[in-house]
Amino acid sequence: MQISSSPPNKVSFHHNVTLTVSLTVGSPPQQVTMVLDTGSELSWLHCKKTPTTPLTFNPSLSSSYRAIPCSSPTCRTRTRDLAVPVSCDSKSLCHVTLSYADSSSVEGTLASDTFNIDNSDLPGTVFGCMDTGFSSNIEEDSKTTGLIGMNRGSLSFVSQMGFSKFSYCISGRDSSGILLLGEAHFPWLKPLNYTPLVQISTPLPYFDRVAYTVQLQGISVSGKVLPLPKATFEPDHTGAGQTMVDSGTQFTFLLGPAYTALKNEFLNQTRGVLRKLEDPNFVFQGAMDLCYRIEQNRRVLPPLPSVNLIFRGVEMSVTGEKLLYKVGGASRGSDSIYCFTFGNSDLLGVEAYIIGHHHQQNMWMEFDLANSRVGLAEFRCELANQRLRP
């Protein structure tokens, strides 16, 4: 189903650890909250209430719900981009299993139902109706009903709806954001800078062909480019080492050599400005091992060097508060602990560079599927929220 490109469908979202959007699913409509994830394909909802999944979609209350049999072409051919092959369950229904970089997973039945987004009905939307799973962050995951997959795979939400373009803007000030499905032509939006998507024709074991992959070419700290060979940022013969723009990941992760070089240069440029947490056992979220002690009564962070991610045709500048993240519930004496918001992919067990949503705050991010490119420009996203209110 194609939705007219003007005006775009508009959805507000909230962000903390994840970006979440609210919409309705089913007939009559049931309210659901879904994580917005440009790094994954199939959308899914928890369909079985448990102590750790209190928010669910109840398929038995929806007259438009349809479970998809494994004999269906949707099950047999449209699931080809999923990392784990589908199977047939005891009821001859299409069984899907999804796993994520943080080691969480969900499984259940492939199904379809009517999704309603910004007052547009989208009948026959294919999604996973999940009844079991493992969460690596139960507290966060219990706040949402599921996930909306926004990558370029054939079963992603944008692909199913036929959108050729979507964009979002995440406010750095409050916990709000805006998602636009379709064209975004506004007089107040300045021209974006674009970087082309990297596409490969040959399947490689570690290359995600339906991700939003861009070419990272270098990293600079306050204008000083890290002395890394070009090959550091290019995928190898197995496909490992691609750079993905991922709204489903909070922070940015770099492969070992690039991370080490950035960490050392940031340490070098903040010597005498920040006090390093001298605790080798303290690693935030398992992959972020550069942390600092900052006085709890300090209102603002000291001046910090900017970190620029240099892509083909565009740079993303990470400055000020976006560089350090206060670790809740952790302190040393009268000091809070803040960690550098770049982590080491090698410690996550991920063979890729991942640009997370924390560094996309106050940037207009456009995903242009028709022209195979990603556009961005710095923007105060709370202004977009105000200007787009009806």
Active-site residue 246, yes or no?
yes
List 314's β-bridge partners, or say none. 311
Short-list 249, 283, 211, 212, CA closest to 15 = 249
Burial-class residue 303 by CB neighbours within 10 Å (0-12, 13-18, 19+): exposed
Output DSSP code: residue 261.
Answer: H
Positive or negative torsion for Cα 11, 16, 56, 82: positive
List 112's β-bridge partners, or say none. 66, 126
Active-site residue 368, yes or no?
no
> Could you tell me if 86 and 75 are in contact, meaning their C-beta atoms sit under 8 angstroms apart?
yes
List 335's β-bridge partners, or say none. 295, 332
Provide the CA 184 distance to its chain's centre, in angstroms.
20
Element (H, E) at 12: strand 9-15
Q: Select which of 113, 141, 208, 246 is catalytic.
A: 246
What is the rounded CA–CA span in Å between residue 151 and residue 211? Answer: 6
List 224's β-bridge partners, or say none. 221
> Could you tell me if 285 and 55 are in contact, meaning their C-beta atoms sit under 8 angstroms apart?
no
Short-list 198, 217, 196, 218, CA closest to 208 = 198
> Could you tell me if 251 and 307 are in contact, meaning their C-beta atoms sit under 8 angstroms apart?
no
Token pair recorded at residue 348? 């996550």
Spatial neighbors of 108 by CB under 8 A, at least 6 apart, are: 44, 47, 95, 96, 128, 129, 130, 131, 132
What is the rounded CA–CA span in Å between residue 279 and residue 290? Answer: 10
Q: Select which of 37, 113, 208, 368 is catalytic.
A: 37
Question: Which ranges constitute the DSSP H helices of the chain?
Answer: 73-77, 138-141, 157-161, 256-270, 345-348, 381-387
**Which residues are catalytically annotated?**
37, 246
